[in-house]
Structure 1
Amino acid sequence: MTPSPAVVRPDQELITQILDELDLDHTLDAEGDIAIATPELTVYFLFGSEGDLFTIRTFYDRHYSVDDKPMLVSALNEWNADTMWPKVYTFTQDSGVLRIVGDSQLYIGAGVTREHLTTVVAHWVRYAIKFHRWLTDRLAFETD
């Protein structure tokens, strides 16, 4: 019988190691969260207050007006219906500017294997970027 792989409890140190192994440049933001920042998007690696939820949250840096919301909701619904992650939604700032946010979450309360966590991080970051490209193409089609 093959032994089960070791289970780990993800934390910031482990996520930093994984990002280094994947050659993904990252930093700590003002709140101490790990982030990958590009001109188009910022990806955050977050842990729930109870330590049982790992979230990769992406803030897309393009801003939209409230008038764009119907078109955006239609595009986001299409993405959410066709893909598993990230799940994307609009966020309206106090100024009335719309932003798009993407979330991917993993329950880690019982631990996960390091291999699974590495795969999840790699795929989620890749799909956060893929969504940005997809939305850019999709909205270009809408405006043509």
Structure 2
Amino acid sequence: MALLGDDTSGPTPALAPLERERVTAVLDARGLEYGIDEDGDVGGYFDGHLFYFFLLGPGDMSLQVRGRWSREVPAARLADVTALVNEWNSTHLWPKGYVRTEDDVLGVYGEHTVDYAHGVADVQVDQHLACGIATTLQLFAQLDEAFPAEAAAARAALQQQQG
């Protein structure tokens, strides 16, 4: 019987260590735009939201997809935003969402982290990135529905930047 509907009839792919180059190869294969910052972290914008793809932990064996909601919500709305994110966390496996105060506004993040200490197949890296981006964007869409004025303002600012 296949676990969670996975087809196990084919050969098991070889597991290799997690490396930044494998993450960028997946992004390249999908035709996604990204950059690498001065710390060597890979990141890019998806639907106007900044995402990073971090290698974390001892030996950089964990892969984390972390996105930040690009809306400016006043810190005074902390209880409202936290309630929505907590509801998300109680009804979804991933991403983990959290809220923090950053100066006078709220930062809302979605994270999907997996430990690949025993190695990872390329198809797993691809699935991890796709899942992390897509589900975090679902969280952000739910936030946009709850805060339409902030979402509209961010979209207008982005359109003006793109000119």
TM-score if structure 2 supplies the norm length?
Answer: 0.77
How many residues align structurally? Answer: 139
Q: Distance in 2 between matches of 1:52 and 1:14?
A: 12
8 Å CA contact 2:62, 2:113 repeated in 1: yes
The 1:136/1:107 distance shift into structure 2, 3 A limit, reads same
1:75 and 2:84 are equivalent in the alignment: yes
Cα RMSD, aligned residues only: 1.9
Aligned-residue offset at 1:2: 6.0
- 2:141 aligns to what? 133
> Which structure shows the bigger proportion of residues in strand conformation?
1
Q: Distance in 2 between matches of 1:55 and 1:114?
A: 15
> Which structure shows the bigger proportion of residues in helix conformation?
2
2:71 aligns with one of 25, 50, 62: 62
Structure 1 runs of 4+ off > 3 angstroms? none
Task: Give the unaligned 5+ runs of structure 2.
Answer: 1-8, 149-163
Q: Distance in 1 between matches of 2:46 and 2:29?
A: 19
TM-score if structure 1 supplies the norm length?
Answer: 0.86
1:103 aligns with one of 104, 111, 123: 111
Percent same amino acid at aligned positions? 22
- 2:101 aligns to what? 92
- 2:127 aligns to what? 119
